[in-house]
Amino acid sequence: MPALFEPLKLRSLELKHRGWVSPMCQYSCGPDGAPGVPNDWHLMHLGSFATGGAALILTEAAAVNPQGRISPRDAGLYNDEQAGAWQRITGFVHRHGAADTKIGVQLAHAGRKASTYWPFSGQRGSVPESDGGWSTVGPSRSAFDGYAEPAGMTGEQIHGVISDFAAAAVRAVDAGFDTVEIHGAHGYLLHQFQSPLINTRTDAWGGTEEGRNKLMLAVIDAVRNVIPESMPLLLRISATDWARGGVDLQASVRLAAQAAERGVDLVDVSSGGAVAHQDIKPGPGYQTGFSERIRREAGVPTGTVGLLTSADQAEHAVATGQADGVFIARAALRDPHWWLRAAFQLGHELAWPPQYDRAMPRHSF
């Protein structure tokens, strides 16, 4: 059996194989519906990956409070209407997943990168309150490139965000999600606190690596305490800021080890996003080395992501121990049946939806 199609068990969650869907923001909530509520677009988008053979789907970032949304069109999981809409989607995935597909939600707060225009709006930067935007917060009064300056968070606000993550996790369980991922990457709030390039606080929430990691670990504890013991907890991190003086790989190894001690079952390893002056030289598999180091040195299962587009690339990453699973993103947008194609190309028989059985390839795909 190809390594990519070996099963994996995380706590009581059994995944049919190691080919997964990476979180991808759709910026498609509203404008007609209630803020943060996923709709038919999300059902179609995520459902297509389920019928396409993915073993695990992670949703786009779902904000834990209204101010945590990346844009006015981003999803949330901070009220019951949003939870009910997500439940419709988890039910579809569970009923129609070709590979007994599981689905998890990514919980997030965008911090100083919140209240921005969505990519296809034709505009860039922070959305003013007159156009549906809001004031943002961060660890310090330091703005991201071209965005509005955030307010430095008070201790009360920090504890409020921790509680918001926990409340969103409870809603995630009630909405039928199989797992929860905490978004600690890409320059959003938890990563902002972690990065010395952004967090200039001198109180207990900054000053040292221990202080800068405190919010990330507190959120992990809060979420782990409210989800079932049998449910795995995932954490997405940026392994490096790609900038001098920022988070580096060894710091991420230490963070991952602490996260595992607190009950994180898999670290979803990405990189970058903290600052605009990052120096990234992307290429196929350019992040797999980060995943391998964290997996080996922190002793925690990892997922890898980033310009892995072919079945052979994904197979190599798993077979050589660079990761326990591969998250597919842009390649999945181009081909929502990526996993059915990959199984065929690697000589593995993966169940097809019965409605598509007549199209099952025999000699080529």
Domain-embedded: residue 137: yes
Catalytic: which of 27, 78, 147, 188?
Answer: 188
Tell me, what's the pLDDT at 32?
A: 83
Say if residues 46 and 97 touch (Cβ distance below 8 Å): no
Domain-embedded: residue 364: no
- Residues with Cβ within 8 Å of 364's Cβ and at least 6 positions away in sequence, in order, are none
Domain-embedded: residue 118: yes
CA atoms of 114 and 66, how far apart (whole Å): 10
- Residues with Cβ within 8 Å of 26's Cβ and at least 6 positions away in sequence, in order, are 41, 42, 45, 60, 75
- Residues with Cβ within 8 Å of 27's Cβ and at least 6 positions away in sequence, in order, are 70, 71, 73, 74, 118, 119, 120
Tell me, what's the pLDDT at 33?
A: 81
Domain-embedded: residue 230: yes
Tell me, what's the pLDDT at 166?
A: 99
Tell me, what's the pLDDT at 365?
A: 74
Tell me, what's the pLDDT at 186?
A: 98
Which CATH number covers residue 73?
A: 3.20.20.70
Domain-embedded: residue 365: no
Tell me, what's the pLDDT at 348?
A: 96
Each residue of 277-334: pLDDT tens digit?
999 989 999 999 999 999 999 999 999 999 999 999 999 999 999 999 999 999 999 9
Tell me, what's the pLDDT at 173?
A: 98
State which residues form the domain around 289. 3-359
The total number of structural domains in the chain stands at 1
Tell me, what's the pLDDT at 98?
A: 93
Domain-embedded: residue 49: yes
Domain-embedded: residue 42: yes
**The model scores a pTM over 0.85:** yes
Domain-embedded: residue 243: yes
Tell me, what's the pLDDT at 362?
A: 77
Q: Which residues of the chain have pLDDT under 50?
A: none
78 has catalytic annotation: no
Nearest to 262 by CA among 211, 296, 227, 310: 227
Nearest to 233 by CA among 244, 241, 222: 222
* Beta bridge pairs of residue 102: 56
DSSP letters along 195-215, please?
-TTT----STTSSSHHHHHHH
